[in-house]
Copies of this chain bind each other. A is one copy, B any other.
Amino acid sequence: MDNAIDQSINLKTAQQLIVNACGALGEERIALAECLNRFPAKALTALEPLPGYNQSLRDGYAVARGESGGAGEPAKSFRIVDEVAAGDTRNLALSPGEAVRIMTGGLIPLHCESVIPQEDCEVVNDTVGVAATALGLNNTFIHAQGSEIAKGELIVPQGLAISPEQQILLAGVGYETVPVVRKPGVSFFCTGSELLVATEERRAGKKYSANSHLLQGLIALAGAELQEQKSVQDDPDAVAGILGDMSRSGCDIIISTGGMGPGKFDLIEEAFSRVGGKVIYRALNLRPGKSTLFGVIGRTFFFGMPGPPPAVHLLFNELIQPAILALQGAKRCVPKEIKAYLREDLYLPRRGLPRLKGGFLSFKDGNCVVRPSKRGEAANCYIVCPATRRHLRLEEKVTVHLFRLSPDLG
């Protein structure tokens, strides 16, 4: 036991080992509509300029070039020769003295000086009269081709998840499909002869596996693809069999729950080494996390998680989510670390190991404040509790780790 702690490493080292081990996966092309929160396979640059053509910013009249007015000059008049609705793709050209009626978004004709908004125009039959002062202004009400984004300009850097703002720009510069890093495929199995499987009847001695439900949800929320899930008895042959099958199935990550730590039925590490797995680390200097293992079987990463579901939830956020992000080439993989003021005293059961405790972060008049979350309450962060402390004080500034996606920041 003491020996295990001696071999243990701290959380930051573990996260670094994970992120370094997990290089970006291969590329796939997906529809633009599906790209939100996905990671680009390479930096995405403008395929075409934005706007793609000169377009009108107003409903009004596009008037011919060479008719600049001035403060002293009388109104000019133009002969209305055509009408351009938005979506009209004809390449019209204006001769001197001509104008076309044009709608917002309409394609500007060649030899156009500017668009005169309709409220500045006086139309009589097929002639439009324009105040001289409305001509030769700085604002031509023309949204010029490429004035927002030049062809080749950077839209999405590598390593950042595509945001709605970037998706809008990608649509504007010609993307219909987007090259992204494929989603990591994750398989998991829950060990425990006490776990009820499928439709087995509930009775004393057996329980439902909260972990299998939990992991399905967390894997989807984390942006990975659930490949396969199993429950397995506390039997070394069965566990080795599943580990072998899953690693050969081509998934990127395998997760197990339970079967870790000292004891008669602690079988994960034995089965793992039997199928040729290589341990990268086998214990964290952290509570929870003393019994957790990270390694590789061939090209598949393996996370051995402890049995208690709250520990699985925490370690998923701190260890597996970073792996899922790293496998997609994310620049920032580990939970964001921020400072917050404690809203209440926090007592810890004992010293000896650093501890992460579920917290509820909220904001009060410009300050970040945090308190331990209650049992069964949704945490939105973890509070870092140093090994040397048993009492963290009200108002004290503590470090918290944010969840990546938190629907309910306080």
Q: Which residues of A contact B (CB under 8 A)?
A: 31-37, 48, 51-53, 59, 85-91, 103-107, 155, 160-161, 163-169, 171-172, 174, 176, 192-195, 202-210, 212-214, 216-218, 220-221, 233-234, 263-265, 309-310, 313, 336, 338-341, 358, 363, 365-368, 373, 375-379, 397, 402, 404-410
Contact A213 B167 (CB under 8 A): yes
| 26 CB-based A-B contacts, threshold 8 Å | A33-B217, A52-B202, A59-B264, A85-B234, A85-B265, A86-B194, A86-B265, A87-B206, A87-B233, A87-B234, A89-B204, A89-B206, A103-B264, A105-B192, A161-B407, A161-B408, A165-B376, A165-B379, A167-B210, A167-B214, A168-B214, A168-B313, A171-B309, A340-B366, A366-B368, A404-B407
Centre residue among A213, A214, A341 by max chain B CB count within 10 A: A213
Contact B205 A89 (CB under 8 A): yes
Please name 8 further chain A to chain B contacts, defined as beta carbons within 8 Å, in addition to the given A59-B264, A103-B265, A367-B367, sorted by A numbering. A37-B407, A85-B234, A88-B205, A161-B408, A167-B213, A340-B363, A365-B397, A402-B409
Complex interface: chain B residues within 8 A of A194 (CB): 86-87, 105-106
- How many Å lie between the Cα of A31 and that of B212 in the bound state? 12
Contact A85 B193 (CB under 8 A): yes
Complex interface: chain B residues within 8 A of A204 (CB): 52-53, 89, 91, 107
Centre residue among A59, A163, A313 by max chain B CB count within 10 A: A163
Contact A166 B376 (CB under 8 A): yes
- How many Å lie between the Cα of A268 and that of B163 in the bound state? 29
- How many Å lie between the Cα of A174 and that of B196 in the bound state? 11
| Min C-beta distance of A204 to chain B, whole Å | 4
Complex interface: chain B residues within 8 A of A373 (CB): 165
Known A32-B213, A36-B221, A234-B87; contact A207-B367, beta-carbon cutoff 8 A: no
| Min C-beta distance of A218 to chain B, whole Å | 7
Complex interface: chain B residues within 8 A of A214 (CB): 164, 167-168, 171
Nearest CB to that of A91 among chain B residues? B204
Nearest CB to that of A362 among chain B residues? B338
Known A192-B86, A217-B33; contact A208-B174, beta-carbon cutoff 8 A: yes
Complex interface: chain B residues within 8 A of A171 (CB): 208-210, 213-214, 309
Contact A205 B53 (CB under 8 A): yes
Nearest CB to that of A192 among chain B residues? B86
- How many Å lie between the Cα of A405 and that of B408 in the bound state? 8
Known A85-B193, A91-B204, A313-B168; contact A366-B339, beta-carbon cutoff 8 A: yes
- How many Å lie between the Cα of A365 and that of B35 in the bound state? 34
- How many Å lie between the Cα of A369 and that of B166 in the bound state? 23
Complex interface: chain B residues within 8 A of A408 (CB): 161
Task: Determine which of B87, B265, B341 lies in contact with A192 in the assembled complex, contact meaning CB atoms within 8 Å.
Answer: B87
Complex interface: chain B residues within 8 A of A172 (CB): 207-208, 210
Complex interface: chain B residues within 8 A of A402 (CB): 409
- How many Å lie between the Cα of A59 and that of B262 in the bound state? 10
Closest 6 CB pairs of A and B: A87-B193, A163-B378, A171-B210, A36-B217, A89-B205, A53-B204
| Min C-beta distance of A94 to chain B, whole Å | 16
Contact B208 A168 (CB under 8 A): no
- How many Å lie between the Cα of A403 and that of B326 in the bound state? 25
Contact B358 A363 (CB under 8 A): no
Complex interface: chain B residues within 8 A of A89 (CB): 203-206
- How many Å lie between the Cα of A405 and that of B403 in the bound state? 11
